[in-house]
Amino acid sequence: MANLIIRSVLVNGSSRGIGLELVKAFLFKQGPPVQSIFAACRNPDSAQELKSLSSKHSNLATVRLDVTNPTSIEDACSDITERLNGRGLNLLINNAGIAVFHSLYEATAEDMMEMYKTNTIGPMLVTQAFFPLLKKAAQENPNEVKSCSKAAVINISSGAASIERTPLEFSVQPLFEYRCSKAALNMLTRCQAEVYKTDGIIAVTVAPGWVQTDMGGPKAPLKPHDSVGSMMKVFDTLTEKHNGMFLNRKGQTLPW
């Protein structure tokens, strides 16, 4: 990201795993520093690594945000709006997500609804709340090409969301509730791309790969640093032609 100038970014689900690694990547990226990095998570008081980073970097602020709680989303938006002091938000990364590990025979309605509440409805509500700030950022740079530097929403999805690829991977990672919620997230992204494009905002869904996190487990082939490093390079290249696309961490198109 040596050339991309991002003035402000919000990453939710940032207390650990991919979200935390994204925050670090924006903090230490090459080129012009990001003026305002907002690291959002449900319990910032217990996010020790985030607290340590924010104490050392004045451009990093931790924010309390539960993507399943509309009041929490509203409070976080008010907090960030005040901190931006009249400026818009260039980049929103909806990273918060959960997974459960049940077979199709054992799953309950409650499990499925919890998965959709966090992985699909959460990104919808968060983006709705922050849309005015994204629109403001786009208006601040009317002659700039649509990009993560202007105004963009990136929804962190999964290769497991690909319906076409399911027969190839299901025996290794069934995760059917997770697959369903992330496939729905992909459709949400596609709809966001259509709705927000008239306001100068792009929406893209990116799959980070199978990563060694609390969710991905120790058998995953990718370290968080490797996954995020690749995704950051992709963020640098996103333009209007990528609006609504489903990409992997290397920027290659994934089948729906």
- Structure confidence by residue, pLDDT tens digits, 17-43: 999 999 999 999 988 999 999 999 999
Q: What local confidence, expressed as pLDDT, does residue 131 receive?
A: 98
The answer, as to whether pTM is greater than 0.85, is yes
Is the pLDDT at 172 greater than 90, yes or no?
no
Mean pLDDT estimate for the chain: 94
CATH number attached to the domain at 8-248: 3.40.50.720
Q: How far is residue 222 CA from its own chain's centroid?
A: 18
Nearest to 4 by CA among 242, 239, 237: 237
Alpha carbon distances (Å) from 91 to 7, 188, 211, 212: 9, 17, 23, 25
Q: What local confidence, expressed as pLDDT, does residue 31 receive?
A: 87
Q: What local confidence, expressed as pLDDT, does residue 185 receive?
A: 98
Looking at 76-90, 162-176, 194-208, which range is the least confident one?
Answer: 162-176
Place 55 in a pLDDT band, splitting at 50, 70 and 90.
very high
213 SS3 class: coil
Q: What local confidence, expressed as pLDDT, does residue 2 receive?
A: 46
